[in-house]
């Protein structure tokens, strides 16, 4: 009983509906933010067309030539309108014939055609006069047509000639243009060449100048280096003399040694003048003198060293030579 | 010819033009997100109430209120009892069932067991749906990623039929596919945050209940000894 009651109370949870509403609200807010807070329209950049011309005159010439060839046919369809009656059928035939130079062929079909169409009439009337009239008319017509054809031919020729002239003129113009451009190009190239040469000359001069400057600088440097070296050498000599003097001042000379014995030592120094190691390099023959010198070297530490630490390398391994007699 | 003067890449267009698989993934993620937010709010209410009621009850209890009065108030049907009260009721009723003559240790053992059982039930109640939040938090990014990979695969496959491939051919496909990832992350991030928060809250409540149980058994033991 009691547990059942307890379970019942556990199952009633507060704010289930409210939680659902809030969850929905969160999503709606998010979607609204997505839709209005974000620019979903993608605008592609406007396209740009670029034609690359390597040589200007030639591409223009070809398109011009083609229209000239095509232009010749159009005048012929325009021609029939000017002519009074000629039937369109024969009209198409006369055009090729002028090329042959014989105007006769077009006549025959014309007459035959006319005969076919007009014969029924004279048969009915049976009139010679009418026939003659007809003949005369036909002749006149033929003459007229012939004249027309000739005119047509003439006009076409004139047109052709005109077109040819036009083309020739255009070609000449283009030729001129091309020549001018070539001239210009050549001039430009020459100018460029000249400029290049000048540039080269200038560069060479600059190079020379630079080399000279470099040389001068090197020389100056060498002189400076030599001076520095000389100074360093003098400095080193000075300090070596000082070291030797200090050592000598500490030597307690053993008395009455015959001759002038010489003791040579290798002394290893530490920066600051301390002595790391003293080794006998060449004995003087008198152990008393050798030991006196060694003791003096050990006593005279710190040895005087130049203040410039760069010079220490010269003193790292010192070669000390001590004569018994000065 | 020029189909894309201004390409409409609105959210609805992108979703509706996605492949069926990607749409399914998106639907799944939307449902997961809705559910997880629902649970987030429910849990937040439940935990807030639990903390508040525990505060009140402990306040009453330590102010020296009569245990019988507290018991009666907690068991009255009108009153919606809190977790801590239920633990108290379980322990106290078990304690009062024994006649004064019985051994104190036995009484205390059974009392403790009754409280432990109620405590476990209460903890179970507080922890429901937390596993769902954890699942959404860890899995929905992968589901979104799956949708994205699928969409990108499709858009690249359609690219192979085009002689001159430009970014404009793949961009809408990739955008629509990436929406899946965005949705996955949108579902996962709040779920993970809420899960961590609620786990720490329930653990705090659990330690409170446990210490209350110990203190109550002390009080009851003293009462039994009297």
Question: Which of B7, B37, B81 has its CB closest to that of A26?
Answer: B37
For the stretch B135-170, pLDDT in tens is 999 999 999 999 999 888 888 887 777 777 777 777
**Distance (Å) from the alpha carbon of A55 to chain B's nearest alpha carbon:** 29
User: Domain segments of chain B: what residues?
Assistant: 11-65+130-225
pLDDT of residue A46: 63
pLDDT of residue B3: 40
Nearest-CA neighbor of B215 among B124, B84, B107?
B84
- Integer angstrom CA distances of residue B200 from B41, B123, B145: 16, 13, 29
- Integer angstrom CA distances of residue A248 from A236, A243, A295, A326: 18, 9, 11, 10
For the stretch A125-154, pLDDT in tens is 567 778 888 888 888 888 888 888 888 898
Q: Give residue A282's domain range.
A: 251-323
| Binary contact (A19, B42; C-beta < 8 A) | yes
Tell me how many residue pairs between chain A and chain B have CB atoms under 8 A apart: 73
- A93 & A163 share domain: yes
Give mean pLDDT, residues A89-118: 48
Domain boundary among A164, A189, A214: A189
Give mean pLDDT, residues A160-188: 91
How far apart, in whole angstroms, are the C-alpha atoms of residue B137 and residue A96? 90
The alpha carbon dihedral of A267, A268, A271, A275 has a sign of negative
ipTM: 0.73
For the stretch A64-88, pLDDT in tens is 444 444 444 444 444 444 445 544 4
Question: Which of B8, B80, B186 has its CB closest to that of A9?
Answer: B80
Domain boundary among A165, A189, A213: A189
Domain of residue A274, CATH code: 3.30.1150.10
Q: Grade residue A25 by pLDDT with cuts at 50, 70 and 90.
A: very high
What domain count does chain A have?
Answer: 2
A213 within a domain of the structure (yes/no): no
How far apart, in whole angstroms, are the C-alpha atoms of residue B120 and residue B210? 10
How far apart, in whole angstroms, are the C-alpha atoms of residue A43 and residue B171? 13
Give mean pLDDT, residues B21-34: 91
Is the link from the previous residue into A233 a cis peptide, with omega within 30 of 0? no
Q: How many CB atoms lie within 10 A of CB A305?
A: 20
A201 within a domain of the structure (yes/no): no
| Binary contact (B4, A44; C-beta < 8 A) | yes
A304 within a domain of the structure (yes/no): yes
In the predicted model, what is the mean pLDDT of chain B?
A: 85
Give mean pLDDT, residues B115-130: 91
Q: Of A9-23, A229-243, A289-303, which range is least confident? A: A9-23
How far apart, in whole angstroms, are the C-alpha atoms of residue B155 and residue B137? 28
| Binary contact (B9, A42; C-beta < 8 A) | yes
Nearest-CA neighbor of B112 among B94, B96, B85?
B94
User: Residue B151 burial (CB < 10 Å; 0-12/13-18/19+)?
Assistant: buried
A50 within a domain of the structure (yes/no): no
- DSSP run (H or E) holding B173: helix B167-225
Q: Grade residue A98 by pLDDT with cuts at 50, 70 and 90.
A: very low
A173 within a domain of the structure (yes/no): yes
pLDDT of residue A118: 47
**Distance (Å) from the alpha carbon of A52 to chain B's nearest alpha carbon:** 21
**Distance (Å) from the alpha carbon of B202 to chain A's nearest alpha carbon:** 16
Domain boundary among A144, A173, A189: A189
A163 within a domain of the structure (yes/no): yes
| Whole-number percent of chain A with pLDDT over 90 | 19
Q: Grade residue A96 by pLDDT with cuts at 50, 70 and 90.
A: very low
Give strand pairing partners of A319.
Answer: A266
- A183 & A263 share domain: no
For the stretch A184-241, pLDDT in tens is 999 999 999 999 999 999 999 999 999 999 999 999 999 999 998 888 888 888 888 8
**Distance (Å) from the alpha carbon of A9 to chain B's nearest alpha carbon:** 7
């Amino acid at each position: 009983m009691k547990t059942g009651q307890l379970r019942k109370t556990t199952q009633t949870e507060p704010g289930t509906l409210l939680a659902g509403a809030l969850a929905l609200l969160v999503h709606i807010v998010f979607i609204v933010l997505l839709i209005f807070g974000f620019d979903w329209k993608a605008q592609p950049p406007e396209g740009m067309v670029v034609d690359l011309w390597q040589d200007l005159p030639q591409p223009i010439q070809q398109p011009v030539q083609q229209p000239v060839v095509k232009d010749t046919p159009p005048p012929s369809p325009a021609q029939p309108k000017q002519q009074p009656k000629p039937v369109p059928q024969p009209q198409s035939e006369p055009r090729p014939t002028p090329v042959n130079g014989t105007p006769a062929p077009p006549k025959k079909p014309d007459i035959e055609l006319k005969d076919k169409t007009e014969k029924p009439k004279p048969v009915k009337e049976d009139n010679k006069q009418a026939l003659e009239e007809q003949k005369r008319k036909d002749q006149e017509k033929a003459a007229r047509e012939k004249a027309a054809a000739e005119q047509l031919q003439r006009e076409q020729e004139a047109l052709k000639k005109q077109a040819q002239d036009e083309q020739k003129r255009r070609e000449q113009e283009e030729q001129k243009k091309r020549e001018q451009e070539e001239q210009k190009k050549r001039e430009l190239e020459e100018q460029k060449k000249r400029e290049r040469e000048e540039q080269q000359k200038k560069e060479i001069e600059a190079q020379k100048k630079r080399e000279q400057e470099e040389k001068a600088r090197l020389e100056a440097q060498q002189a400076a280096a030599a001076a520095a070296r000389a100074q360093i050498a003098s400095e080193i000599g000075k300090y070596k003399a000082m070291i030797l003097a200090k050592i000598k001042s500490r030597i307690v000379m053993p008395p009455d040694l015959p001759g002038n014995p010489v003791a040579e030592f290798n002394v290893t120094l530490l920066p600051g003048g301390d002595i790391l190691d003293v080794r006998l390099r060449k004995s003087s023959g008198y152990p008393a003198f050798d030991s006196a010198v060694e003791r003096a070297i050990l006593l005279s530490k710190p040895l005087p060293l130049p203040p410039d630490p760069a010079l220490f390398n010269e003193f790292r391994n010192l070669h000390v030579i001590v004569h018994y007699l000065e | 010819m020029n189909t894309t003067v201004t390409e409409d890449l609105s959210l609805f267009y992108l979703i509706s033009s996605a492949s069926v698989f990607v749409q399914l993934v998106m639907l799944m993620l939307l449902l997961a997100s809705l559910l997880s937010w629902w649970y987030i709010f429910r849990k937040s209410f439940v935990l807030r109430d639990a903390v508040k009621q525990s505060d009140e009850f402990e306040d009453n209890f330590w102010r020296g209120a009569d245990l019988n009065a507290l018991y009666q108030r907690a068991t009255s049907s009108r009153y919606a009892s809190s977790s801590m009260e239920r633990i108290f009721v379980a322990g106290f009723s078990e304690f009062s069932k024994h006649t004064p003559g019985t051994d104190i240790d036995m009484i205390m053992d059974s009392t403790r067991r009754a409280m432990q059982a109620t405590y476990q039930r209460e903890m179970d109640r507080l922890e429901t749906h937390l596993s769902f939040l954890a699942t959404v938090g860890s899995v929905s990014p992968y589901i979104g990623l799956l949708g994205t990979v699928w969409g990108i695969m499709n858009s690249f496959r359609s690219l192979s039929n085009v002689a001159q491939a430009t970014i404009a051919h793949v961009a809408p496909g990739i955008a629509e596919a990436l929406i899946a990832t965005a949705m996955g992350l949108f579902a996962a991030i709040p779920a993970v945050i809420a899960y961590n928060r609620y786990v720490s809250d329930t653990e705090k409540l659990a330690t409170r209940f446990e210490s209350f149980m110990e203190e109550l058994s002390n009080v009851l033991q003293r009462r039994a000894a009297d």
